[in-house]
């Protein structure tokens, strides 16, 4: 006896909603840096405009991965050509440097395309349900999803770096790292010899002047091109990538520009890890490789860590 299947169509709803993670990555007298991540909790969008209100005296001075305009205390950040589309549960991020006078609070509220970002989706009723029709269900095809491509980003000093020229020393472990993966993994080695975590992040803006807190003065507070490349919304870190971070052998220097105090060191590790996580990447902290001098069978440490 023949049979038939009945499929029931339920009215759907257009869903809007968003979450904004606004984080001050660095702050100094009169200035600060911030990262902003937008997560789309609703239907996919093809363009976005994020709005918020600053406190008196706050302003944006430089931005990347977004076009930012300010009128009084009202700020609008819009997508650039390569990051306007946000899938459901997808996210984009951008960063900026700013200025402040009396205080530097985090904005109290945000909206994307006019929708308040409350952290939960909102449903807008759609047309009535479609009348169900009998039919024979068609089995869904079973296909194996291809392995996604992953990029492993390396940030570190000479113990990680590629050689300055072919055959030259020193050569860091990052130079051979790609050989341990298949073709779905790309290793981008941005380690540079002689760098502390701060000089790696802020080259060439870390000065030889030490402030009253015992830290090297950074002026201007602008990220290095290598870190900005990793933060690039189109070609930088993406969901599923890894960021390997290894510093320490230069940070223990007592003089600037290499010197980084222990509290500042932890702060900057947090800056890098938070930026990776905001993009869906996985930060990995690595213990610094030992820097030693060998004399026969005796190894002696020759670098602060």
Q: Are residues 155 and 105 in the same domain?
A: no
Domain count, the chain: 2
Residue 9 located in a structural domain? no
Q: Are residues 89 and 185 in the same domain?
A: no
Q: Are residues 119 and 154 in the same domain?
A: no
What does the pLDDT look like over 256-299, one tens digit per residue? Answer: 999 999 999 999 999 999 999 999 999 999 988 766 666 777 77
Residue 132 located in a structural domain? no
Task: Say how many residues make up the chain.
Answer: 305
CATH number of the domain that 66 lies in? 2.60.40.290
End-to-end CA distance of the chain: 80
The residue from 125, 158, 183 where one domain ends is: 125
Q: Are residues 167 and 89 in the same domain?
A: no
Q: Are residues 108 and 162 in the same domain?
A: no
CB neighbour class for 96 (10 Å; exposed up to 12, middle 13-18, buried from 19): buried
Residue 7 located in a structural domain? no
Stated as kind and residue range, the H or E segment containing 231 is: helix 225-231
* Domain range enclosing 45: 14-125
- Cα distance between residue 83 and residue 46, in whole Å: 9
Q: What is the pTM of this model?
A: 0.53
Q: Are residues 218 and 116 in the same domain?
A: no
pLDDT values of the chain reduced to their tens digit, one per residue, 305 residues: 444 333 333 333 456 889 999 999 888 888 999 999 999 999 999 999 999 999 999 999 999 999 999 999 999 999 999 999 999 999 999 999 999 999 999 999 999 999 999 987 765 554 555 555 666 666 666 666 667 889 999 999 988 998 877 666 778 888 889 889 888 899 999 999 899 999 999 999 999 999 999 999 999 999 999 999 999 999 999 999 999 999 988 999 999 999 999 999 999 999 999 999 999 999 999 988 766 666 777 777 666 44
Sheet holding 31-40, edge to edge: 18-28, 31-40, 91-99, 59-64
């Amino acid at each position: 006896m023949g049979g038939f299947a009945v499929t029931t169509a339920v009215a759907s709803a257009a869903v809007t909603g968003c979450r904004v993670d606004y984080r001050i990555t660095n702050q100094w007298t009169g200035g600060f840096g911030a990262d902003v991540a937008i997560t789309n909790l609703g239907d996919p969008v093809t363009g976005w405009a994020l709005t918020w209100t600053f406190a008196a005296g706050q302003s944006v001075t430089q931005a990347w991965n977004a076009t930012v305009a300010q009128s009084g205390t009202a700020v609008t950040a819009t997508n650039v050509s390569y990051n306007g589309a946000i899938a459901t549960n997808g996210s984009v991020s951008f960063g900026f440097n700013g200025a402040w006078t009396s205080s530097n609070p985090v904005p109290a509220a945000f909206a994307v395309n006019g929708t308040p970002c409350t952290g939960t989706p909102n449903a807008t009723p759609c047309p009535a349900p479609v009348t169900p029709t009998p039919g024979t269900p068609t089995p869904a095809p079973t296909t194996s999803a291809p392995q996604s491509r992953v990029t492993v980003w390396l940030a570190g000093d000479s113990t990680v770096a590629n050689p300055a020229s072919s055959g030259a020393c020193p050569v860091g472990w990052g130079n051979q790292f790609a050989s341990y993966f298949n073709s779905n993994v790309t290793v981008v080695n941005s380690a540079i010899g002689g760098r502390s975590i701060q000089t790696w992040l802020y080259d060439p803006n870390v000065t030889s002047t030490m402030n009253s807190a015992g830290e090297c003065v950074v002026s201007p507070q602008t990220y290095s091109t290598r870190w900005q490349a990793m933060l690039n919304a189109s070609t930088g870190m993406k969901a599923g990538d890894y960021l390997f971070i290894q510093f320490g052998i230069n940070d223990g220097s007592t003089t600037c520009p290499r010197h980084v105090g222990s509290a500042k060191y932890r702060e900057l590790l947090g800056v890098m890890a938070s930026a990776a996580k905001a993009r869906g990447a996985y930060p990995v902290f690595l213990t610094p490789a030992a820097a030693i001098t060998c004399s026969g069978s005796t190894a002696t440490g020759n670098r602060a860590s």
